[in-house]
Amino acid sequence: MPVALALTAALVASPLAQATAETPRTGPRIYKSLQGGTPTFSDIPPAKGAYVVYRPSCYACSVTSDINWNATKLHLDEYGDEIGLAAKQFDLDPALVRAVIHAESNFNARARSQKGAMGLMQLMPGTARMLGVADASDPAHNIQGGAKYLAGLLARFKNDVTLAAAAYNAGPEAVQKYAGVPPYAETQVYVQRVKILLQRYRQSLRG
């Protein structure tokens, strides 16, 4: 039986992250098409009309993911110095930086999207230049740039982690437009998973 996940709002691509080639596909292949102007998702390609294979824009963005986010392995030791330095520089909780890296790339420094987003925090080339990132493929530079962007979002949304996470995925303009988490399925699952990961990293890092 088809999955048939009809949505009321179109998905948008993150300004920072598009589908990473290294992100494993979980569950059946999902096909996206328009039915009466509404984006519809199914595990069976439609008999008529155009469709595309749906690819999530980041590791934690797949609406069909079967990962147990409350139990999946955490990355507690990787890039400790780089994360600690960036968190201190931009006054961020290191657990939040780890949660976003986990959600974006699952700590795969070589992750690269079809549209060019790069590295641990999946920076698009234009965003990297805007943030002054010299080499987005370098983990230290990537983390510093992503942390700077995340800190800016937190400042913009008055330290609301939910809104900052939504903006990291869907863009701050979308968050402002909807005065909250946008009604995009990908963004909504992303925010939920970042918050789960954040709580787990905080608990683990604090012992």
- Please identify every residue annotated as catalytic: 104
Which residues lie below 8 Å from residue 4, measured CB to CB, with a gap of 6+?
40, 41, 42
Cα–Cα distance between 32 and 56 in angstroms, integer?
Answer: 11
Q: Kindly list the distances between the CA atom of residue 64 and the CA atoms of 2, 79, 116, 207, in Å, as whole numbers in the listed order.
A: 12, 29, 23, 32
DSSP state of 123: B
Residue with tokens 């010299």: 134
The DSSP line for 51-120 is: EEE---SSTT--TT----TTTSPP--STTHHHHHHHHHHTT--HHHHHHHHHHHHTT-TT-BBTT--BTT
